[in-house]
Structure 1
Amino acid sequence: MSRLREQNKQRTFEQIQRAAKDLFERKGYAATTTREIAEEAQIATGTLFLYVQDKAELLLLIYANAIGKLMDATFATVPEDRPLPELLLHIFGPFFELYGRHPENARHFLKELLFHEDDHSRSQQVGLQNEEFIQRLAHIIQRAQERGEIRQDVDPQQAAGSFFAIYFATVTAWLGSFLVMDSASLEQLRSLFELQIRGMLPPDTASAMETM
């Protein structure tokens, strides 16, 4: 009986997530109410709050799930024979596509992630995902280091954190409407990555670039 109850709870929670995701995409996060989510999930509004604190937690959960799946897919398809700037765009580019599908919802996600007053466990989940992302990226940088693309004294973990910071600042500026993100803007992101990489180049490579 206990196992059956847990299965029923899990099914209800999945119904709630599907209902919220569908409504957020159709109506937008701001225009969607918890009552509508409950009706879409075919549960009482009070039941909804047995599973989540509020609408914001659902938004964080939906994006956390999407980020986790995209991270796995992206790192699983990293090509081994491309230079580091191209690898970075391969890794970070799909996340701009994710946020670009529903930019208004993505703005609310970023706002809730950074500024929500409550201590959401879902915010912590995204934070842990970011840490995992940086760890995976550090392995990519370490392999580039082994190929001689960057200096041996560069700490891959710090380099990964630096690239992630550039990405996060860019995506924040974009969602805040300070940037218009298109293919040209992704090339600007590539330029920022290349500028950062320039400081990590082995001496011989850096000297050669300076004389070009």
Structure 2
Amino acid sequence: MSGRREEKKQLTRQAILDAGMRLFSVKGYKNTSITDLAVEAGIGKGTIYSYFTTKQEIFLAFCREQLYLINQDIVRSASCEDHVVDQMMAVFTGTFHFIKQDREFGRLMLRESFFPTEHNLEQSQKIENLYIDMLVPILQRGQERGELRSELDLILVIGHFYGLFLITISAWFTERLASGDDFLETLKTMFYQTMYGLAPA
């Protein structure tokens, strides 16, 4: 019985996320209310609050699931023997293409991921952990191949790369980088600078 109850809970949660994405796409994030989401999902408004406390939390949960699927596809298609930079680029390229689908969604995801409200802290941490779980094995393999020093704190290394991604995505939002190609070229250049340093050889 508990298995059936858990399955029903998962279906209800997914119905909320699906309703959110449909309405956010049609009406826009700002114009979609919790009441709208409840009607679209075919459930009571109170039921939504038993799964999510805010509309932002629903949005971030959707983003996390989508990023997880994107990253799983990347893992399946990428070669584990590729250089660290190429593997890191594959991950962040997937994130960029997700953000690029809708600037409003992308801006909200980044804001709530890095400056979360108290209500959204858990979802933001889940997105952060998604990247840590994805990137640590890439960096460990890079250490084994001698592409990275063995004594490095890999969480700090992830911070380096993620920080560069944020700087570059900010330049894309402000249109200092005019196109997706400009974004990717700039990001790769900055990744290689991080790997090999700025001082003369």
TM interval, short-chain normalised: 0.7 to 0.9
CA shift for structure 1 position 15: 0.9
Partner of 2:135: 134
Partner of 1:170: 168
Q: Distance in 2 between matches of 1:80 and 1:10?
A: 33
Q: Relative to 1, partners in 2 of residues 1:65 and 1:153: Cα closer, same or farther, differing over 3 Å?
A: closer
Contact 1:17 1:58 in 2 (8 A): yes
Unpaired segments ≥5 residues, structure 1 = 201-205
TM-score (norm 2): 0.83
Partner of 1:203: none
Counterparts of 1:185-200 in structure 2, within 5 Å, are: 185-199=183-197
Contact 1:137 1:160 in 2 (8 A): no
Q: Relative to 1, partners in 2 of residues 1:46 and 1:9: Cα closer, same or farther, differing over 3 Å?
A: same
In angstroms, what is the RMSD of aligned CA positions?
2.7
Which structure has the higher relative contact order (CA within 8 Å, separation 6+)? 1
Q: Distance in 2 between matches of 1:127 and 1:195?
A: 24
Q: Distance in 2 between matches of 1:114 and 1:161?
A: 12
Q: Relative to 1, partners in 2 of residues 1:113 and 1:163: Cα closer, same or farther, differing over 3 Å?
A: closer
Determine helix, strand or coil for the equivalent of 1:30: coil
Q: Distance in 2 between matches of 1:140 and 1:168?
A: 24
Determine helix, strand or coil for the equivalent of 2:117: coil
Determine helix, strand or coil for the equivalent of 1:70: helix
Q: Distance in 2 between matches of 1:3 and 1:82?
A: 42
* Amino acid in structure 1 at the alignment position of 2:50: L
Partner of 1:65: 65
Partner of 1:114: 114
* Amino acid in structure 2 at the alignment position of 1:133: M
CA shift for structure 1 position 107: 0.7
Q: Relative to 1, partners in 2 of residues 1:7 and 1:83: Cα closer, same or farther, differing over 3 Å?
A: closer
> Identity, % of aligned pairs?
24
Q: Relative to 1, partners in 2 of residues 1:12 and 1:143: Cα closer, same or farther, differing over 3 Å?
A: same
Q: Distance in 1 between matches of 2:14 and 2:95?
A: 24
CA shift for structure 1 position 47: 1.9
**More divergent stretch after superposition (99-108 vs 53-62):** 99-108
Counterparts of 1:71-150 in structure 2, within 5 Å, are: 71-80=71-80, 82-120=82-120, 121-145=122-146, 150=147
Q: Relative to 1, partners in 2 of residues 1:130 and 1:15: Cα closer, same or farther, differing over 3 Å?
A: same
TM-score (norm 1): 0.80
Q: Distance in 2 between matches of 1:9 and 1:69?
A: 21
Larger radius of gyration: 1
1:13-41 CA distances to partner (integer Å, 9 max, x unpaired)? 11111101111122221221111111100
1:60-116 CA distances to partner (integer Å, 9 max, x unpaired)? 100011111222221232225544443332232111111111121111112222233
Q: Distance in 2 between matches of 1:194 and 1:81?
A: 17
Contact 2:87 2:138 in 1 (8 A): no
**More divergent stretch after superposition (166-175 vs 89-98):** 166-175
Paired residue total: 199
Contact 1:20 1:58 in 2 (8 A): yes
Determine helix, strand or coil for the equivalent of 1:90: helix
* Amino acid in structure 1 at the alignment position of 2:180: D
